[in-house]
Amino acid sequence: MTPPPGRSFLTDALKRFTQNRLAVLGLILVSFILFLAVFAELLSPFPYDQVYFDRVLLMPFQHPEHPLGTDEVGRDYLSRLIFGARTSMLVSLSVQMIALLIGLPIGALAGYFGGAFDFVVSRIIDIMTAFPALLFTILIISVLGGGIPTIIVALSITSWIIIARITRAQILTLREQEYCTAARGIGASEWRILFRHLLPNAMSPILIALSFGIPTVIFAEAGLSFLGLGVNDPIASWGKMVGSSNAYVRVYWHLAVFPTLAIALTMLGFSFLGDGLRDALDPKQKIRV
C-alpha cells in the first residue's frame, strides 16, 4: 500500500530521492535537456534550417563557426542537435500530458463505477495490448501523414492506455479499503470519495508510470523519425538525424555519433529519474510498470 501523501511521506520521498546519486544525475541530465529545448533560439549559433550550400558535410572543428560540423545539406549540426531537444521534449511531454488527461479520468471512472463502461474500457485495453503499440502508431501516421502534431496524436492514442490501465487497477484495489467504506458510512458522495479519497492515493503509481512513459515516447518519436515516418523537413529531430546519417556514416561519423549520444543520454536521464521517483515514492517496489 502506498501511504497517503502527506507532509512526512513527501519529505521522506524527497530525502530518498536526493540520497540516490543516479536519480540526481538523471535530474541534472533532464534539466539540461529541458533548458536546451526551452532556450534553443538563444543557445544555438544558427537557425536550425539555415542552409549553407558551400559548407556541406563539414567535419567537427573543420570550420570555426561549426564546432560539430554540418550535415548533408550544409546546416549547422550543433544547432540542429539543440533544436532536436525541443522536438523530443515537445513530443514526449505533450503526449504524456494528453495521456494523463484522457487516461486518468477514463481509468478512474472504469475502476470506480464498473459496469458497462468498465467492460468497454477493459476490452479496449485488451485489444490495444494485443499487438505492439509501434505498429499501430505507424498505421495512424500513415493515415494522418507526418509532422509533429500527427506524431503527438498517434503516440497519445497508444499512451493513454497505460495510464488508464494503472489508474483503473489502483482504484479497484483502493475502493475496497476500509477508509473508503468509512467515508461512505459517514455519507460522503461517490464523487467526493473518488476525488478526495481515492485519486490522491492512486497518484504515486500514476506519477511513476508517467515518468517511465516519457523515455518510451522519446524512443518512439526518435524511432519514427529514424524510419522517415516522423517529423517533416526541415524540423530537427535526433531520430531523423540518425536515420539520414546511415548513408554517410562511412566517412562522416559525426552525423551518427552526436544524435545517438543525445538520444542515449536523454533516455538514460529520464529512466534514472523514473527509477529514482519509483524508489522514493514506492520504497517497497510494489508497482511494476
Contacts of 185 (CB under 8 A, 6+ apart): none
Site string for other proteins, 121-140 (x = CB under 8 A): --x--xx--xxx-xx--xxx
Judged by CB under 8 A, which of 23, 58, 98, 141 binds other proteins? Answer: 141
User: Restricting to residues 249-268, which ones interact with other proteins according to CB under 8 A?
Assistant: 249-250, 253, 256-257, 260, 263-264, 267-268
User: Restricting to residues 172-211, which ones interact with other proteins according to CB under 8 A?
Assistant: none
Q: Which three cell numbers stand for residue 254?
A: 559525426
| Buried residues in 215-244 as b, exposed as e (16+ CB within 10 A) | bbbbbbbbbbbbeebbbeeebbbbbbbbbb
37 vs 255, beta carbon nearer other proteins: 255
Size of the site for other proteins (CB under 8 A): 36
Select from 19, 87, 18 the least CA-distant residue to 233.
87
Give the nearest distance from C-beta 209 to other proteins in angstroms: 16
Backbone φ, ψ for residue 55 (5° rounding)? -125, 50
User: Restricting to residues 211-240, which ones interact with other proteins according to CB under 8 A?
Assistant: 215, 219, 222-223, 226-227, 229
Select from 44, 56, 53, 29 the least CA-distant residue to 80.
44
| Residue reference for cell 475502476 | 111
Judged by CB under 8 A, which of 271, 276, 279, 281 binds other proteins? Answer: 271
Return d(Cα 248, Cα 59) in angstroms, integer: 12
206 vs 267, beta carbon nearer other proteins: 267
57, HSE (Cβ side, Cα atoms, 13 Å): 10
14 vs 264, beta carbon nearer other proteins: 264
Which residues contact other proteins by CB under 8 A?
123, 126-127, 130-132, 134-135, 138-144, 215, 219, 222-223, 226-227, 229, 242, 245-246, 249-250, 253, 256-257, 260, 263-264, 267-268, 271
